[in-house]
Structure 1
Amino acid sequence: MGWIGWTATIVLVLVVALLGAWRYAHATGAVGLLEWADRTIGTTQGTAVAASGVAFGDDPAQRLDIIAPNTPGPHPVIVFFHGGGWHSGRPEDYRFVGRTFARAGYVVVLPGYRLGPEGIYPRMLEDGAAALAWTNAEIARFGGDPRQVILMGHSAGAHTATMLGLERQWLGQQGLPDGFVKAVVGLAGPYDFHPFTSDSARNAFGHVRDPAATQPITFVRGDAPPMLLLTGDADTTVKPRNSRVLAKALTDAGARAELVILPQVDHAGPVLKLARPFARDTRVRDAALGFLDTLPEASVPVQAEMR
């Protein structure tokens, strides 16, 4: 076997090992392994950590990171809420998501929020809304445009993103107007999941007297921000039904909703495909950017794109 053959074999082994590490990391909450893999095999070129550990509240969990393009702004802003079953996850472990979209011309805000016993409903929503209020007030200093704010999240984070996009009270409590959120992208999110069948859902929402108040589907409205709901047909953690029923309810109400169901993609897949070297499968990235490109208030000007 020649040098090229050995190199290809080593790369293949490394990719397989990283894939296995990611599966383990996602199962155990140690997503930092994926962030390490993205930095090691990928590149940070064209992006920068514009801020790290910035406080948007008094609780230690209320901290955020910002990943920005290395080009002059103002850029539209994606606020990405991480998953982890409302009990685990750190914003700094999802910087690979920030780099992926910063390369496309977006400033990406990665908020943390209270988790576990301290993070029961409605605190994840209160913290998310507080992060948006901070974004509105401060993101211009980091090259972002507060008039172009998009919400995105994976799994539990997709629940937060859609709830903040649909239920007016949370942004209203922070003094943010209707229309502040220009679009929502939900990745493998739970949107209609009562009765609660998992420990994580029971721990986060089981104390609520009216479970319907915790469900995004309850707050469907015709003037909701446009939504892209993306999931995999092999997701056994959050069933694809969640995305199907929310997309149908939104469109039936007169709102814009696009449903993308990826064949042979499991619950971790939508995030996995936003990190290198797994980003060779561009379906998640392309779906998100393609959707945002159709929204003038949420898209990157063509001349500013770095795709």
Structure 2
Amino acid sequence: MPSRKTSSSRQAPSGLGWLALSTLTLGALLTGCSAVNVQNTLNRAVSTRGLNVAADQRYGPDARNVLDVYAPQNAQNAPVVLFVHGGSWEGGDKMGHRFVGESLARVGYVTGVMNYRLAPQNRYPAYVQDTAAALRWMRDNATRFGGGPDNLFVMGHSAGGFNAVEAVDNARWLREAGVPISAVRGVIGIAGPYSYDFRPLASRNAFPEGSTPDEVMPDRHVRPDAPPHLLLVAENDRTVYPQNALNMEAALKKAGIPVTRTVLPGLNHITIAAALARPLTSLGPTRQRVTDFIEAHRVN
């Protein structure tokens, strides 16, 4: 698919507009609206005016092997961040996370927001292989957008956090995709299910029949040369339990990999991701923790 570069003509909301939209979104979160409704509200709350946006960049042969790039203007050797959405491996879409691309591009990062093949038609490791392939595309095209090809970060929320961590920590996937591990400066997992027994749960449909946690879980696959990790946990998460991050942290430490596990108070499985949006930073420090980590590990 040919490249399509666009620049939004929408005006950025005024200060009162930000406040109104922030209040509306916060109300939606507190009244239990679906993640999709929250994402749609957040996307309406942000403008990509002044950014370079390239939509539907193809990184593989499948219909869902596409990503959107959000880049600051006049960037030079900027950090390149690949964001992987959640959705229990069976749903979710990059279009619901425009607010993430906008938010990180405003900091100065070249940000890719990707789609990947979905279960149950595409079970593990298809979506992990897609993550590695998308990272390869981001590296190969980094200079087009002012990014540094050896200044890569991978970040995911929920199931996307699993994809991000597994794609980097299991030596197989980056090797097969042709991405040198030295190019990846850090991995950020947000409320990811890195270590659990999926067999009695509905999410078993995302994994091969008859497979075991030892065969698929990222905490069993930590390579000794993995880059630093940031694991963000929502204090009130009732979807992905905090034990996942505890187990992942232990596995990384055992392998000698630098890791920071941070529990964010007052947040749940949805709000920890929503707080990445610029209008909702008052919800919690997700965005600040992410940018602090990238700034600490980027190539200057």
Task: Say yes or no: TM over 0.5.
Answer: yes
In the other structure, the counterpart of 1:304 is: none
Q: Residue 186 of structure 1 aligns to a residue in which SS? A: strand
Q: Residue 103 of structure 1 aligns to a residue in which SS? A: helix
Alignment counterpart, residue 44 of structure 1, candidates 32, 35, 48: 48
In the other structure, the counterpart of 1:24 is: 33
Contact 1:183/1:225, CA 8 A, preserved across alignment: yes
Hey, what's the Cα distance between the residues in 1 that align with 2:224 and 2:97?
Answer: 32
1:30 Cα deviation after fit: 5.0
Q: Does 1:94 align with 2:97?
A: yes
Q: Compared with structure 1, are the counterparts of its residues 56 and 296 closer, same or farther at alpha carbon in structure 2 (3 Å cutoff)?
A: closer
Hey, what's the Cα distance between the residues in 2 that align with 1:11 and 1:223?
Answer: 43
The alignment's TM-score, normalised by the length of structure 2, stands at: 0.87
**Matched letter for residue 26 of structure 2:** L
**Matched letter for residue 37 of structure 1:** R
1:25 Cα deviation after fit: 3.0
Q: Compared with structure 1, are the counterparts of its residues 197 and 267 closer, same or farther at alpha carbon in structure 2 (3 Å cutoff)?
A: farther
1:179 Cα deviation after fit: 2.1
In the other structure, the counterpart of 2:130 is: 127
Contact 1:34/1:275, CA 8 A, preserved across alignment: no
In the other structure, the counterpart of 1:275 is: 277
Contact 1:21/1:33, CA 8 A, preserved across alignment: no
- 1:227-275 Cα distance to aligned partner (Å, 9 max, x none): 0000111101000111122112212321100010012211112211012
Q: Compared with structure 1, are the counterparts of its residues 295 and 14 closer, same or farther at alpha carbon in structure 2 (3 Å cutoff)?
A: closer
Hey, what's the Cα distance between the residues in 2 that align with 1:24 and 1:34?
Answer: 11
In the other structure, the counterpart of 2:228 is: 226
Identity percentage of aligned residues:
36
1:140 Cα deviation after fit: 1.5
Q: Compared with structure 1, are the counterparts of its residues 270 and 46 closer, same or farther at alpha carbon in structure 2 (3 Å cutoff)?
A: farther
**Matched letter for residue 48 of structure 2:** T
Q: Does 1:138 align with 2:141?
A: yes
Contact 1:78/1:107, CA 8 A, preserved across alignment: yes
The alignment's TM-score, normalised by the length of structure 1, stands at: 0.85
Contact 2:236/2:266, CA 8 A, preserved across alignment: yes
> Mind listing any 5+ residue stretches in structure 2 that lack a counterpart?
1-14
1:199-218 to structure 2, matched below 5 A, reads 199=202, 201-205=203-207, 207-218=209-220
In the other structure, the counterpart of 1:61 is: 64
Alignment counterpart, residue 190 of structure 1, candidates 159, 180, 193: 193
Q: Residue 179 of structure 1 aligns to a residue in which SS? A: helix
In the other structure, the counterpart of 1:291 is: 293
Q: Residue 150 of structure 1 aligns to a residue in which SS? A: strand
* Higher gyration radius (CA): 1
Hey, what's the Cα distance between the residues in 1 that align with 2:274 and 2:183?
Answer: 29
Contact 2:77/2:143, CA 8 A, preserved across alignment: yes
Let me know the Cα RMSD of the aligned residues: 2.3
Q: Does 1:71 align with 2:74?
A: yes
Contact 1:80/1:109, CA 8 A, preserved across alignment: yes
In the other structure, the counterpart of 1:4 is: none
1:281 Cα deviation after fit: 3.8
Hey, what's the Cα distance between the residues in 2 that align with 1:158 and 1:99?
Answer: 19
In the other structure, the counterpart of 2:41 is: 34
Hey, what's the Cα distance between the residues in 1 that align with 2:205 and 2:102?
Answer: 32
Contact 1:232/1:264, CA 8 A, preserved across alignment: yes
Q: Compared with structure 1, are the counterparts of its residues 15 and 139 closer, same or farther at alpha carbon in structure 2 (3 Å cutoff)?
A: closer
Q: Residue 266 of structure 1 aligns to a residue in which SS? A: coil
In the other structure, the counterpart of 1:245 is: 247
The runs of at least 4 aligned residues of structure 1 exceeding 6 Å deviation read 8-13
Deviates more, 1:13-22 or 1:173-182: 13-22
Q: Residue 220 of structure 1 aligns to a residue in which SS? A: coil
- Give aligned pairs, total: 284
> Mind listing any 5+ residue stretches in structure 1 that lack a counterpart?
1-7, 302-307
- 1:128-156 Cα distance to aligned partner (Å, 9 max, x none): 11112212222211222111110000000
